[in-house]
Amino acid sequence: MSDSLSSESFFQGAKKAAHKAMDDHGRPEYDEFALHAGVAVEKLAKAVLVSKNPVYLVESRNEDMLLHFGGHLRMDQEKVRTVGAKEAITRLRKIGVLQTDSDLDLLIAMRNGAAHASGDSTLAKGMITPLARTIETLLGDLGETLETFWERWAEAVKAAVNEQEDQVFRDVQLRITQARHAFEDRFVGFPPEVKESALKAPQPRKEEWFAKPMEVMDGDILVLKASGGDCPACGGQGLLTFEPVRYTATETMFSPNGFGCYLCTFEASGRDEMAAVRKANTPGWMHTVATSHGPTLHEQARLVISKIQTG
C-alpha cells in the first residue's frame, strides 16, 4: 500500500488542514473554515481506520479496491479511491470510536456545501467546538496528544471544549489566540527587533480618533471615556472605552464596554466580553472608573478623575 494511504500520512494531512481551518476562522473566512475543518476530520478519521485495518478504507461494493487494500491486487495510485468523510465517520461510529453527533454531521454537510460555494457562514462560525471535540476523540484513539496535533492552537482548542466555561469566555479566548497568531505571522522571517519596534511605535496619525484617549460629552454630561490599554493578544497599546453605569449628584461610575487594538485588530465589546477578556488574560485592566464633580459642571473643568480601581 502506498505511503500516501498510511495512518501517518493521513495524520499529517489532517493536521495541516486543521491549522488552515483555525487561520480561516480568525480572518474570518467561515466558508473556507468549514471546508478545511471537514477535510481535517475526514483525514484524521481515515488515519484511525487505517490504524485498525487498511481494508476499512475501501468503498462499498468495490471489489478491486478491496483486493488492492488487502494486498493481492496492484493498482495505479491515481485509480485508488477511499471512502468519503460521511462513510468514514459512520464506520467509526459502528466500531465505537465516535458517537452520534448532530453538530459533527452538520459540519461535514457544510464542508460539502462550502466546496460547492453554498456554505452557511453564520452556522460555520460556530463549528469550532464540534471540530475540536471530534479531533480530540480521534487523537485519543490514535494515542496522540492535542499538543502534537494542534501545536500553537492547543490552548485555544482546549478552551473550545471546556464545558465548565461559558460560550462568551470560550469565544473571546479563541479570538485572542487568533489575533495573536495573525500578528506573529506578520513577522515570520524578520529579526525579533522588528516586531518589538512595531509594538513600541507611535500611535496612528492624529486624525485616526480611535487610537487616542478621548471623552465624549452630551452637554455637560460625560457619556463615554476612552484610555489606553495593553492588548491581551499582541501586547501593544489599544483603546479601552468606558460607559456610565451610575450617576449621582457628585459622582459618575463608568464600566468598560469595549476594547480595540489597531496593531493586531483584536476587538471585544459589551460587558460580558470585557469580563471574559479580564478573566482570560488581563487582570490588571481597569474595571471601574469613578469621577467626581459638583452638582453642575463648569465649562472649563468638566471632569476630575478621583479614583481608578484595578483588579
Sign of the CA dihedral running 188, 194, 199, 205: negative
C-beta atoms surrounding 122 within 10 Å? 8
pLDDT at 7 over 80: yes
β-bridge partners, 288: 309
pLDDT of residue 8: 94
* Per-chain mean pLDDT for the chain: 78
Q: Is 199 exposed, middle or buried (0-12, 13-18, 19+ CB in 10 A)?
A: middle
Q: Is 80 exposed, middle or buried (0-12, 13-18, 19+ CB in 10 A)?
A: middle
Q: What is the CA radius of gyration of the chain?
A: 26
Residue 116 gets the label, from left (phi > 0), alpha (psi -120 to 50) or beta, of: alpha
pLDDT at 82 over 90: no
Polymer length in residues for the chain: 311
Segment 40-76, tens digit of pLDDT: 999 999 999 999 988 888 876 666 666 656 665 666 5
Given a contact cutoff of 8 angstroms between Cβ atoms, the answer to whether 48 and 92 are in contact is yes
Q: For residues 113 and 271, give the distance between their C-alpha atoms in angstroms, rounded to a whole number.
A: 36
According to DSSP, residue 99 is labeled: -
Percent of the chain with pLDDT over 90: 29
Cβ contacts of 212-218, under 8 Å, gap ≥ 24: 212/239, 213/239, 215/303, 217/302
Q: For residues 249 and 256, give the distance between their C-alpha atoms in angstroms, rounded to a whole number.
A: 22
Segment 269-309, tens digit of pLDDT: 888 888 888 887 655 555 555 555 555 444 333 333 333 33
- Locus of grid cell 509594538: 199
- Residue 250: helix, strand or coil by DSSP? coil
Is pTM, for the whole model, over 0.75? no
pLDDT at 116 over 50: no
pLDDT band at 13 (very low <50, low <70, confident <90, very high): very high
Q: Which residues contact 211 (CB under 8 A, 6 or more apart)?
A: 203, 204, 239, 262
Q: β-pairing, 286-292 with 267-269? A: unpaired
pLDDT at 111 over 50: yes
Given a contact cutoff of 8 angstroms between Cβ atoms, the answer to whether 76 and 61 are in contact is no
pLDDT band at 250 (very low <50, low <70, confident <90, very high): low
- Locus of grid cell 465548565: 164
pLDDT of residue 14: 97
